[in-house]
Amino acid sequence: MKLSANTHNKNGNKLVYIQDAERLTEAAANALLKTLEEPRPNTYFLLQTEPSSSLLATIYSRCQVWNVPLPTEAEALKLGFLLNFRQKHQNY
What's 17-84 look like in SS3? EEECHHHCCHHHHHHHHHHHHCCCCCEEEEEECCCCCCCCHHHHCCCCCCCCCCCCHHHHHHHHHHHH
pLDDT score for 1: 41
- Taking the whole predicted model, whether its pTM rises above 0.85 is answered as no
pLDDT per residue, tens digit, the chain (92 aa), is: 455 556 667 788 888 889 889 999 999 999 999 999 998 898 889 898 887 778 888 898 999 988 888 778 888 888 777 667 666 766 54
